[in-house]
């Protein structure tokens, strides 16, 4: 059988990077089929060498390239993260439509495609990941590759009205139609993409995922990404997890823990979440002194202005809430702008009575799934989940909220805190069954089957 060829911005060349969801899924597939992984080396240089760096690990051949400062800026910081990321998360107001960034974005897609094509062999299947490489299908075809190319979008695909705010929407859509299989996180994302094609280019939605457009037939489906479920459940009872639970237990002093874990990103709805916590203490006085909210928010993309603004906003909100409600022996809302070991997170999830996953938009949200797998079956906690996270399609037994309606989120936190253990167990058991069965291997196999890859 043929090899699998993965393309993503960052690769798992560094073994410590293999811990993330995407890296695990791709790595497992590549080691089982044998294959290659193309991406960015992580280095910024004055001049990119003609030949990329290549090396092998456990039968996987890595091919990584450096970026120039101009590529890193125009491709990664600007077009990918200040145009596509905000628009695809429905934040057109935050998008910076520069004049030349799309050209740089396209040039990097093309440059990497040109590294890939000469290294492909008959029988190979290509699997491209995420919003950095929306044009990759077009350039691989231009280079002469006629074999299968799959694409998986980890972030939402917005409604057509929002997607059309991108000046380059048509070029992007045409290039996306050069992929053989297009994978989305949710049915909503898939429906948005197909509606855009139907309304603008007379596409036909032919059933079973098949779509005819631009004289081609492609497959577009929802493949909700999962986690390494059993492994995460084990991590939650590891020694490191127990130690973390003991440490935070000392701080809690018998109070209930309400936990949030998110990269510090404006899509995650953190200011609204903090507002909801303020309303909880305001309108539900029995929770005062009885609940501690801890938000873990490792900073990300801190070079980008919108992220610096978010940080300032959160500092102010947390300060105000603690100033208004805190007492000599009680900090109502703690927010820790740093990252922790995964096993530490697993330990915190396990003792949290409530987990707040309230993004304004999220492709999937793996924190919701990790929280479910980390629970103690006898005394599980309650997941509060935004209706705007892809995960809400699968996890309907969570308490589903509208994150913009902060009073209702406050009410739901109170409801979760008062929920009987019987109801907690019933809801959790259904959630656990879904997360455990629709795990990362299920996701990968479902996608690769449609791409025509038979794993060994």
Query: Which residues of 337-432 form beta strands (DSSP E)?
Result: 354-357, 382-386, 399-401
Q: Least distance in Å: CB of 346 to ligand GDG?
A: 9
- How far is it, in rounded angstroms, from Cα 152 to Cα 127? 8
Residues written for the chain: 456
Nearer to ligand GDG, 200 or 339 (CB): 339
What are the C-alpha distances in Å from 112 to residues 29, 36, 144, 366? 21, 13, 14, 29
**Geometric angle at alpha carbon 312, from 306 and 315, rounded to 5°:** 140
Q: Which of 72, 89, 129, 154 is labelled catalytic?
A: 154
CB of 338 to ligand GDG, least distance (A): 7
* Residue (135 or 368) nearer to ligand GDG, CB: 368
Quote the least distance from Cβ 68 to ligand GDG, whole Å: 26
Distance of alpha carbon 70 from alpha carbon 68, whole angstroms:
5
Q: Annotated catalytic, 132? A: no
- Single out the residue of 405, 383, 391, 401 nearest to residue 362, CA to CA: 391
CB of 362 to ligand GDG, least distance (A): 4
Residue 102 or 184: which CB sits closer to ligand GDG?
184
- Other Cβ atoms less than 10 A from the Cβ of 293: the count is 27
User: Which of these, 76, 18, 19, 74, lies nearest to 42 by C-alpha position?
Assistant: 76
Nearer to ligand GDG (CB atom), residue 239 or residue 329? 239
Q: Catalytic: 362?
A: yes
- Taking CA atoms, 269 is separated from 114, 356, 389, in Å, by 39, 10, 11
Which lies closer to ligand GDG via its Cβ, residue 120 or residue 259?
A: 259
Identify the H or E element spanning 346: helix 342-351
The residues, any chain, with a CB within 8 Å of residue 82's CB and separated by 6 or more, are 94, 95, 96, 101, 304, 306
**Between residues 287 and 365, which has the closer beta carbon with respect to ligand GDG?**
365
Minimal distance, residue 241 CB to ligand GDG, in Å: 12
Considering beta carbons, is residue 120 or 134 the nearer one to ligand GDG?
Answer: 134
Q: Which residues bind ligand GDG (CB under 6 A)?
A: 21-22, 154-155, 225, 261, 263, 296, 298, 339-342, 345, 362-367, 370
Min dist. Cβ of residue 392 to ligand GDG (A) = 12
Scored b (16 or more CB within 10 A) or e, 275-286 reads bbbbbbbeebee
Q: Which two tokens stand for residue 385?
A: 């989940």
Measured from the CB of residue 157, what is the shortest distance to ligand GDG in angstroms? 12
Question: What is the rounded distance in angstroms from the CA atom of residue 32 to the CA atom of residue 26?
Answer: 10
100 secondary structure, DSSP code: S
- Catalytic residue chosen out of the listed positions 265, 362, 397, 450: 362
Show which residues are catalytic.
154, 362
């Amino acid at each position: 059988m043929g090899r699998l060829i993965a393309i993503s911005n960052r690769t798992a060349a560094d073994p410590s990077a293999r811990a993330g969801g995407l890296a695990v899924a791709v790595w497992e597939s590549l080691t089982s089929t044998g294959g290659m992984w193309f991406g960015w080396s992580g280095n910024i240089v004055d001049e990119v060498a003609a030949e990329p760096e290549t090396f092998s690990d456990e039968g996987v051949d890595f091919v990584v390239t450096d970026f120039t400062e101009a590529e890193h800026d125009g491709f990664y910081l600007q077009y990918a993260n200040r145009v596509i990321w905000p628009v695809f998360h429905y934040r057109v107001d935050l998008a910076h439509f520069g004049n030349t960034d799309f050209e740089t974005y396209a040039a990097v897609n093309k440059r990497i495609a040109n590294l890939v094509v000469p290294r492909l062999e008959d029988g190979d299947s290509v699997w491209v990941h995420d919003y950095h490489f929306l044009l990759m299908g077009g350039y691989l075809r231009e280079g002469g590759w006629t074999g299968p190319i799959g694409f998986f979008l980890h972030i939402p695909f917005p409604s057509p009205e929002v997607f059309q705010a991108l000046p380059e929407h048509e070029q992007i859509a045409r290039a996306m139609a050069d992929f053989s299989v297009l994978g989305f996180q949710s049915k909503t994302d898939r429906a948005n993409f197909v509606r855009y094609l139907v309304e603008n280019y007379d596409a036909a939605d032919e059933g079973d995922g098949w779509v005819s457009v631009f004289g081609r037939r492609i497959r577009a489906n929802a493949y909700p990404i999962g986690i390494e479920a059993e492994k995460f459940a084990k991590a939650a009872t590891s020694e490191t997890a127990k130690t973390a639970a003991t440490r935070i237990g000392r701080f809690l002093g018998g109070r209930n823990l309400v936990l949030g874990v998110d990269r510090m990103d404006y899509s995650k709805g953190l200011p609204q979440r903090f507002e909801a916590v303020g309303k909880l203490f305001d309108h539900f006085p029995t929770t005062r002194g009885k609940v501690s909210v801890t938000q873990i928010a490792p900073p990300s993309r801190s070079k980008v202005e919108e992220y610096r603004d978010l940080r300032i906003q959160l500092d102010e909100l947390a300060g105000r809430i603690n100033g208004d409600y805190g007492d000599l022996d009680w900090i109502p809302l703690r927010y820790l702008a740093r990252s922790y070991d995964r096993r530490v997170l697993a330990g915190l999830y396990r003792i949290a009575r409530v987990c707040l996953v309230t993004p304004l938009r999220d492709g999937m949200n793996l924190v919701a799934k990790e929280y479910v797998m980390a629970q103690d079956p006898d005394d599980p906690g309650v997941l509060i989940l935004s209706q705007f996270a892809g995960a809400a399609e699968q996890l309907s037994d969570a308490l589903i909220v509208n994150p913009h309606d902060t009073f209702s989120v406050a009410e739901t936190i109170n409801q979760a805190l008062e929920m009987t253990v019987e109801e907690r167990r019933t809801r959790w058991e259904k959630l656990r069954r879904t997360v455990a069965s629709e795990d990362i291997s299920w996701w990968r196999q479902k996608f690769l089957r449609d791409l025509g890859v038979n794993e060994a």
